[in-house]
Amino acid sequence: MDVIYGVHPVAECLKAGRRKAYKLWVADRDRESDLRREVGRALPVKPEVASKDFLARKAESANHQGVVAEMGDYPYVDWQDLLAASPVPLVLVLDNLTDPQNVGAILRSALCAGATGVTLRKHHAAQITPAVVKASAGASEHLRVALVPNQTLFLDAAAEAGLTRVALATDGDPLWDADLDWDKGLVLVVGAEGRGISRLVGEHCDRAVRVPMLGGFDSLNASVAASLALFEAARNRQKENPPRHQGTKK
């Protein structure tokens, strides 16, 4: 089981309904009301009132905002499902990222940019821990996330499925001018700040792009760079496939 903490992370976990809720604790009944309002329906478990010290011990963090939940394990999906989840997938591949704050922030951007899913390395990398759920403000609970033993395994399968594999790298072409088939399936590969993506993963990518920068710096925080690339992909994909509106406004 995972101990999820914070009003929004717990609320999103309950709204997503992908995990079983075992126990809920709140600092007071006002916090219970806040949680119920965020979830928008009856809570699956009656919260118990507990002291802030108890909540901090349970969450292993003082940043619990007066709400802690004991939930089932995170429901990872099979990585093959990410390629079949959409006719035009947008999959984010995270390589060498170990900082829960960065991973959580990237997952939040991935959800908001309409990513089909995310792959994480099964070993030596951050996974969906309570700290990542908190950093993502609960966005992780609404995403399809797969663990892979080796990112090249997924990248090879993505190529066979006809997806373009694009690495975010400092030596790539400018992102704003990238000549990509945005309206087709796309895999965006993001590595850790400084280290970047591994050599082997880079060799399994078709293209490399970079975020143009001024001011003498050659890299951004991984979560910032990933967000810019994700929303540039979302902008171009919407331009190529604009949403259909039914009816007219009066």
Q: What is the CATH number of the domain that holds 60?
A: 3.30.1330.30
Beta-ladder partners of 189 = 93, 167
For CA atoms 134, 135, 137, 141, the dihedral sign is: negative
pLDDT in tens, 149-180: 999 999 999 999 999 999 998 888 888 888 88
End-to-end Cα spacing for the chain: 51
Q: Are 173 and 208 in contact (CB under 8 A)?
A: yes
Q: How many domains does the chain have?
A: 2
β-strands 67-71, 2-5 pairing: antiparallel
Same domain, residue pair 64 and 91: no
State which residues form the domain around 120: 79-240
221 and 120 within one domain = yes
Q: What is the per-residue pLDDT across 19-35, written as a single tens digit (0 to 9) for each?
A: 999 999 999 999 999 99
| Of the candidates 230, 173, 165, the residue with the CA atom closest to the CA atom of residue 202 | 165
**pLDDT over 50 at 247, yes or no:** no
Question: What is the token pair recorded at 25?
Answer: 């604790």
Residue 247 lies in a domain: no
Q: What is the mean pLDDT of residues 121-128?
A: 91
- Say whether both 143 and 166 belong to one domain: yes
Look over the chain and give the mean of its residue pLDDT values, rounded to a whole number. 90
Residues 95 and 153 placed together within one structural domain of the fold: yes
**64 and 107 in a common domain:** no
Q: Which helix (H) or strand (E) holds 37?
A: helix 29-39
Q: How confident is the model at residue 216 (pLDDT cuts 50, 70, 90)?
A: low
pLDDT at 177: 86
Parallel/antiparallel/unpaired status of strands 21-26 and 67-71: antiparallel
